[in-house]
Amino acid sequence: MLIGVPKEIKNHEYRVGLTPDSVREFVNHGHAVIVETNAGIGIGCLDGQYEAAGATILGTAAEIFARADMVVKVKEPQAHERKMLREDQILFTYLHLAPDAAQTRDLVDSGAVCVAYETVTSAQGGLPLLAPMSQVAGRMAIQAGAHCLEKAHGGAGMLLGGVPGVAPAKVTIIGGGVVGENAIQMALGMGADVTVLDRNVEVLNALNNRFGAALKTLYSSASALESAVFVSDLVVGGVLVTGAAAPKLVTRAMLKGMRPGSVLVDVAIDQGGCFETSHATTHTDPTFIIDDIVHYCVANMPGAVPRTSTYALNIATLPFGLQLADKGYRQALQDNPHLLQGLNVYHGQITYQAVAHDQGYAF
Q: Which residues bind ligand NAD (CB under 6 A)?
A: 133-134, 137, 174-180, 197-200, 203, 220, 238-241, 246-247, 249, 267-271, 299-302
d(CA 140, CA 241): 21
Q: How far is the CB of 307 from ligand NAD (least distance, A)?
A: 16
Could you say which DSSP state residue 187 is in?
H
Helix (H, G, I), strand (E, B) or coil at 79: helix
Q: How far is the CB of 108 from ligand NAD (least distance, A)?
A: 26
Q: State which residue, 40 or 175, has the beta carbon closest to ligand NAD.
A: 175
Q: How far is the CB of 126 from ligand NAD (least distance, A)?
A: 7
The catalytic residue among 21, 69, 100, 270 is 270
The catalytic residue among 47, 69, 96, 338 is 96
Which CB contacts under 8 angstroms, 24+ apart, belong to 357-363? 358/98, 358/99, 359/97, 359/98, 359/101, 359/104, 361/104, 361/108
Is 96 a catalytic site residue?
Answer: yes
| Strand blocks (E) in 273-315 | 287-290, 293-296
Helix (H, G, I), strand (E, B) or coil at 32: strand
HEC letters along 129-147: CCHHHHHHHHHHHHHHHHH
> What pairs with residue 215 in β-bridges?
194
Q: How far is the CB of 209 from ligand NAD (least distance, A)?
A: 15
Degrees, nearest 5: CA angle 203-127-313: 115
Is 283 a catalytic site residue?
Answer: no
d(CA 228, CA 275): 14
Q: How far is the CB of 226 from ligand NAD (least distance, A)?
A: 12
Catalogue the active-site residues.
96, 270
